[in-house]
Structures are given as C-alpha cells and as structure tokens.
Amino acid sequence: MRDIFLPIGAILAALLLFGLFVWFAGVDPVEVWVLLFKGAFGDWYSWQNTLQRAAPLMLTALCVAIPARAGLTVIGGEGALVLGGLACAALAHALPLPANAIGTVAVCVAGALAGGLWIALAGWLRQYRGINETISSLLLAYVAIGLFKHIVEGPLRDPASLNKPSTPALDEGQLIGGMVGSDVHWGLVIGVVVCLLAGLWLRVTPSGFSVRVVGGNPRAAQLVGLPATRLVLLACALGGAAAGLAGAIEVAAVHTSANAALIAGYGYAGILVSFIARHHPVAVIPVAILFGGFGAAGSLLQRRLGLPDASVLLLQGIAFVLILASEALRDRDWKAIFERLGRFGPSEPAPLVMPTVEPTEGKRS
C-alpha cells in the first residue's frame, strides 16, 4: 500500500506547497487548484491537450524506468528524444520512402534506433569505463541538443524555413494522423502499448527477470552467472529506444519536421513521471496523463490569473523533491519508531547506552 499512498501523498503535498507559493504572489490558491484540474480534465478540449502531452511523457519515462530496473539512474531522455526526431526527419529526407504506413513505420524505427544507441552509449561508459551513468547521460543530452541544432540549422535546413529553422517536412502520407473524432494522435496508443509491453517483458520473460535481478541484487546476479553487462546495455538500449520513438512520433504527428519546438522538456519531465510511478512501466500511464494535464493547464493559469506559463514547472519541481524525500522515508520502520517514542515519552530522553570496552591486558598486540 505504501507504493501507492506515498506518491499520492507527495503529489498532494506538492499541490499544497504550490498553492502556498502562489498565495505569496497574491493569487488565490483555491482558484489555482480549480483551474489546474479544469485546464487538464475540465472538458473534452482539455482532455485532448492532456492526452497529446501524455503520449511523449509515457515514452520518455520508460527511458528512466527500464534502466532503473537494471540498477541505473539514466536522466538523458531529452537527448534521445531530439535525436530520435532528427533521425526520423533525416531518413525521410535521405531516402525515397513510400508515402504510406510503411514509410511511417520506417521513420519511427529510425528514431527508436537513434535513441537506443545514444542511451546505450551511457550504459557502455558505465560498464566499461566506470563513468557514472547519471552524469554521462545528462551530459550526453546536452551534446545531443547541440548536435540537433547544428544539423537542423545547417546541413538539413529547409531553405523555405526562414524565421524558424527546420528540416524538410515529411510527406503527408508518412504522418501519424489523429484518432477519429479528436485531435489526439495515434502516438498515444503507441505509448500505452509500449508501456504495457515493457511491463510484460519485465514481469514474464526470462530476460526481463534477469534485468530485475541485476538491478535488485548485483551480487546474486554475479553468483548465478548472469551476463550483467549485456543486460545493462539491453536495458539502456530499450529505454533509449522508447525516448527516440517519442521524438519520432512528435515529428510525424505534431511538428511534421524537426525543429527547435521538439526541445520541449519532455525528456526531463519523464524523469519525474518515472520516479512517481516507481519505475513501473504500467504505472507510468496514469502518472503521465496526470502530468500531461498539469502541463496543458499552464496556459490557462496564464490567461486567467496572470501567472507565467512556466509556473507548472515549479509544481513539477516541488513534486520531484517530495517524491525523492518519500523514497528516503519509505523503508523506515515507523512502527518501531512510534513504539520507542511512546515508551520514553516526549519529554523523557532515551537512555544512553555506553559502549563496552574489552580489557586489553594479557592480549597480544
């Protein structure tokens, strides 16, 4: 039950603290809370905005969740996302792909491969060079963003894109369309299916079980002869492939080309989604929808209350700090702590236990 109540408590506490901050700014916190949920889930239009933002969050969260099950903390999903979008646009520009579902699948696979190779590089640096994967993946994300901007504004720039450098647009037949009767694209379904498949892979397959063993008890994995390095690289590659697929879907379903709008922070928000879901791929789905809704409500807070559109980033930051704090408190034996407090009372100090020192006379030094 703690796996459910602690994240929920962290989100509620984050909302309370966020309300306190806006109250200091002279805004009614109750009105802020109402507009947050109204902008996220108030009507069908709000739901469409929420679900559009939730699709990439699901996939970038997997870039954190899958390596985490192998014992790694990878936070470079933003780099895998932008390179996935770049590979999607580059392949469509370099090869005469058919303007149908085959072409769509090809550009999405290219994005997944680019993201998978990029995050696998962080795993390789960790396994073969001893470089911390958290630092290397974050730095690789900045390298990927710089590489993305260089190629988009240079070799692959469409001459027709004047004020906003972009790659040539994908053919209309290669785009991912919206679902019938809504503006929500089919990338949402892809994200949900990938999360479910990742959960099944970790739960029921031998390789998924081996990854969990490596992450849960590396010494036991070593004793039973599991190929830890190969499993770590596999987990990193799969997580990166999910983030790269998110970038390809953003290009094929939203932007139609690779440009600076692709650098929207989905990779960083995916870190928060994964931690609140406790790195469970299936739990990522509802958490991504929730935080997709918070992101969609930012513009409503700006229009109605004059708060900055980026104020929801403050809410996300508070939630991230609190979820990390709740993880630190998760394994405490609270029953023993309360029993100890009740035994000695609030004003009576606990007895001091002096360490015993054995006599050293007669012993050999």
Considering the chain, what is the average pLDDT of its residues? 88
Report yes or no: 22 and 14 within 8 Å, Cβ to Cβ. no
223 has pLDDT over 70: yes
282-313, pLDDT tens digit by residue?
999 999 999 999 988 888 888 888 888 778 88
CB within 8 Å of 186: residues ≥ 6 apart: 176, 177, 178, 179, 253
Q: What is the mean pLDDT of residues 230-251?
A: 96
Q: Cα–Cα distance between 119 and 271 in angstroms, integer?
A: 14
Tokens standing for residue 22 = 């806006």
Which fold, 2-330? ABC transporter involved in vitamin B12 uptake, BtuC (1.10.3470)
Q: In the prediction, which pLDDT does 224 show?
A: 85
Q: Considering the entire predicted model, what is its pTM?
A: 0.87
Q: In the prediction, which pLDDT does 342 show?
A: 65
Q: What is the mean pLDDT of residues 325-334?
A: 68
352 has pLDDT over 70: no
What percentage of the chain has pLDDT greater than the value 70?
89
Provide Rg for the chain, Cα atoms. 24
**Lowest pLDDT segment from 25-39, 185-199, 314-328:** 314-328
Coil, helix or strand at residue 178:
strand
Report yes or no: 141 and 76 within 8 Å, Cβ to Cβ. yes
Q: How many residues are recorded in the chain?
A: 365
Burial of residue 356 (number of CB atoms within 10 Å: 0-12, 13-18, 19+): exposed
Q: Cα–Cα distance between 311 and 320 in angstroms, integer?
A: 15
